[in-house]
């Protein structure tokens, strides 16, 4: 009887060998659904045999995880960005545990984690990959660090992240699956054009044991995105790609390398400190956080220690973050800043704040 690994390889080969067209897309979708299920089974099986997980507590306003192969300079970068003291050496696997550091950035306290290097096969448990990738899944931002002369490692890293259910720089597909007790599968497309058809939807659901449901698809999605929606255990995390050690090549070579990657990258030298301010600013931007300066009643605003919240947060969100009593005793809020239509505007819970706003919350006595 074939092992799970052999079944995975067999399906992967069949997908590669099957030409993709309208006549075969439902069959390929079904194969991909089976593949996703087998990978999930393999991860769970190997997790039972793995070592104890890494113990790390999330602190600060957000968490950034450094992801890369061994010896790409993650420890050096951590030391330059934060107050950490991570061991560095010119050989592989220097970092055997998770090394945390704290970066003070625009008034925010950003936790940066240096994790053991990602290797091929990490998503299925190789090299303590299960534990390493579980830390990545809980991050607010992924910072992929590449050696500028070994950028082919990016393909392996992205493959391992993807197979571990991590969707970097993607948005969750807008799909609603309402299971029913009878009636078969009903598929509703809210858009005229989609890359997935009803038959493929039914085949994928069948693999996952769903035979009665009302499915509403609001996005133009493909079969893999629909499988993600069905599995329901994917995480969607913003990410940055940084090219390290640019001091060893000239500008012409760097331009060629960046062009070949074909995506936005930030060239840096962790050792020399080149472009680290640019990297810091990009980290702050991609975390989608903002600073709110609290003004206690009858006192001046506290501009030294802003409250850090996610972009799009409301006055109500701030009240919840401060203390549950603020929401219970809330009367109104007073806003100064970009989100206010005029100075000292009175607002309620639903007012959406902007970066740099000054907020005063008036409560009942």
Is 247 a domain residue? yes
Say if residue 41 is in the same domain as residue 152. no
What are the pLDDT digits (tens) for 194-217? 889 999 999 999 999 999 999 999
Tally of domains within the chain:
3
Q: Is residue 134 in some structural domain?
A: yes
If asked whether residues 246 and 224 sit together in one domain, one would say no
Instruction: Give the pLDDT of residue 112.
Output: 95
Please tell me whether residues 22 and 76 are part of one structural domain.
no
pLDDT band at 47 (very low <50, low <70, confident <90, very high): low
Same domain, 109 and 18: no
Residue 132 CB neighbours (<10 A): 23
pLDDT of 128-160, one tens digit each? 667 788 889 899 999 999 999 999 999 999 999
Say which CATH number the domain at 155 has: 3.40.50.300
Mean pLDDT taken over the chain: 88
Residue 117 is classified by DSSP as P
**Same domain as 239, residue 225:** no
The three-state secondary structure class of 150 is coil
Is the residue at 57 inside a domain? no
The gap from C-alpha 354 to its chain's centroid, in whole angstroms, comes to: 23
Do 242 and 93 share a domain, yes or no? yes
Q: Are residues 141 and 184 in the same domain?
A: no
Q: Are residues 188 and 322 in the same domain?
A: no
132 lies in some domain: yes
Domain carrying residue 354 = 290-363
Nearest to 289 by CA among 327, 316, 317: 317
What is the rounded average pLDDT of the residues 178-187? 94
Q: What percent of the chain has pLDDT over 90?
A: 65
Domain identity same for 75 and 143:
yes
Beta bridge partner(s), residue 104: 109
Question: What beta strand segments (E) does 311-363 contain?
Answer: 330-336, 345-347, 358-363
Domain boundary among 211, 231, 251: 231
User: Is residue 59 over pLDDT 90?
Assistant: no
- Same domain? For 90 and 151 the reply is yes
Q: Is residue 56 part of a domain?
A: no
Same domain, 141 and 280: yes
- Do 268 and 299 belong together in one domain? no
Residue 266: CB atoms within 10 Å: 19
Asked whether residue 224 carries a pLDDT value surpassing 80, the answer given is: yes
Q: How far apart are CA 229 and CA 17, in angstroms?
A: 26
In a domain, 54, yes or no: no
| Alpha-carbon dihedral sign for residues 228, 234, 237, 243 | negative
Q: What is the DSSP string of 239-308?
A: EEEEEE-GGGS-HHHHHHHHHHH-S--EE-BTTTTBTHHHHHHHHHHHTTEEEEEE--TTS----SSPEE
Nearest to 71 by CA among 118, 103, 113: 118
CATH of the domain at 323: 3.10.20.30
- Supply the DSSP string of 184-216, one letter for each residue: -EEEEESSS--SS-HHHHHHHHHHTT--SEEEE
User: 37 in a domain, yes or no?
Assistant: yes
| Mean pLDDT value of segment 41-59 | 62
């Amino acid at each position: 009887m074939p092992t799970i690994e052999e079944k995975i390889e067999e399906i992967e080969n069949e997908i590669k060998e099957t030409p993709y067209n309208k006549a075969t897309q439902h069959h390929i979708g079904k194969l991909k659904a089976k593949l996703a299920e087998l990978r999930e089974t393999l991860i769970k099986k190997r997790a039972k045999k793995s070592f104890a997980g890494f113990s790390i507590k999330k602190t600060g306003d957000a968490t950034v995880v450094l992801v890369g192969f061994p010896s790409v300079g993650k420890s050096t970068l951590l030391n330059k960005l934060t107050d950490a003291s991570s061991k560095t050496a010119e050989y592989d696997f220097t970092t055997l545990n998770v090394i945390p550091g704290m970066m003070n950035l625009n008034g925010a306290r950003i936790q940066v984690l240096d994790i053991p290097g990602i290797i091929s096969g990490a998503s299925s448990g190789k090299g303590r990959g299960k534990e390493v990738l579980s830390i990545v899944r809980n991050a607010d931002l992924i910072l992929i660090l590449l050696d500028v002369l070994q950028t082919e490692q990016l393909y392996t890293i992205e493959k391992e992240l993807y197979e571990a259910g991590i969707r970097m720089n993607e948005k969750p597909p807008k799909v609603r699956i309402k299971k029913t007790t009878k009636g078969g599968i009903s598929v509703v497309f809210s858009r005229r054009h989609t890359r997935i058809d009803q038959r493929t939807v039914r085949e994928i659901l069948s693999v996952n044991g769903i035979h009665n449901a009302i499915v509403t698809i609001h996005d133009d999605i493909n079969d893999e995105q629909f499988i993600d929606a069905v599995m329901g255990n994917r995480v969607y995390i913003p990410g940055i790609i940084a090219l390290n050690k640019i001091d060893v090549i000239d500008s012409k070579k760097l331009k060629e390398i960046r062009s070949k990657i074909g995506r936005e990258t930030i060239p840096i030298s962790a050792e020399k400190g080149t472009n680290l301010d640019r990297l810091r600013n990009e980290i702050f931007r991609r975390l989608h956080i903002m600073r709110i300066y609290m003004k206690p009643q009858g006192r001046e605003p506290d501009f030294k220690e802003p409250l850090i919240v996610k972009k799009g947060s409301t006055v109500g969100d701030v009240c919840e973050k401060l203390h549950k009593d603020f929401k219970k005793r809330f009367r109104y809020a007073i806003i100064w800043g970009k989100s206010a239509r005029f100075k000292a505007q009175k607002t309620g819970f639903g007012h959406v704040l902007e970066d740099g706003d000054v907020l005063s919350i008036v409560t009942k006595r």
